[in-house]
Amino acid sequence: MYVDSHCHLTFPELASDLPRVLAAMADAGVDRALSICTTLEEADQVQALAAAHPNLWATVGVHPDNEGVREPSVDELVSLSKRPKVVALGETGLDYYRLGERSVADMAWQRERFRVHIRAARATGLPLVIHTRSASEDTLAILREEGAGQVSGVFHCFTETREVARAALELGFMISFSGILTFKNAADLREVAREVPLDRCLIETDSPYLAPVPYRGKTNQPAYVPHVAAQIAQLKGLPVETIAAQTSVNFERLFGVAPAVSGGRD
């Protein structure tokens, strides 16, 4: 009944124990998951994994934090995105959180990489999976410049303000909440989640990172995504089944995935 809209199943923490991770996912009622690509080097593996499992899908893209990896061109992204089970481009975006000695001006390469992903999204019609951290103004500005009205997608692992949420919604994007929503110090984010219309919400783990309470600090996995749904249910005063069903429909709509076949498990 649940969908994990963002996880990294090819990262060693999960890949090393994948049969158990997938079994735990099924036991937890998490029907489906989107496995996210973060480098071109891992694109084959992410796509092959999705192709091998009817309930997994894949993205193709290069994460803004990854340096010293192969830089994507629009043509290469477009070509990789035509493979079976690839339903989105990303994760892509901007991250000024760990600038170190650098200034925002030094991050022109990151902005250019982001523009390349948006152009590929425009060329293919596929949605974008957006990562933004300490860079929401530039993220929104570049999205408007390159793709306003022509691209859709999701702001994943949302931790920004209600103003940024409103701007993303206005651009036609969805907002995805992770286990951070359950953290004790995330009161502001919970207020944002209360405001985001349920038909624009997705849920995710971003596993192996950011395990929700009560697993905080442990290795995260798709099986834990119901804890994010439960938190949203509490905030909105709705049954968790309603959150599970609507976020699943939202996932299908955004990524063009057919509804899960019911009756496959009891």
**Contact residues for Ni ion (CB under 5 A)?**
206
∠ CA 247-61-71 to the nearest 5 degrees? 165
Residue closer to Ni ion, measured from CB, 128 or 233: 128
Q: How far is the CB of 246 from Ni ion (least distance, A)?
A: 22
By beta carbon distance, the residue nearest Ni ion is 206
Q: How far is the CB of 215 from Ni ion (least distance, A)?
A: 17
**Alpha helix positions (H), the chain:** 12-15, 18-27, 43-52, 74-80, 108-124, 136-147, 162-170, 187-195, 225-236, 240-255
Residue closer to Ni ion, measured from CB, 205 or 233: 205
Q: How far is the CB of 6 from Ni ion (least distance, A)?
A: 6
Other Cβ atoms closer than 10 A to 187: 8
Task: State the amino acid at position 229 in one-letter form.
Answer: A
Q: How far is the CB of 62 from Ni ion (least distance, A)?
A: 12
Residue closer to Ni ion, measured from CB, 95 or 206: 206
Quote the CA–CA distance of 203 and 136 in Å, as a whole number: 20
Residue closer to Ni ion, measured from CB, 6 or 85: 6
CB 189 within 8 A of CB 205: no
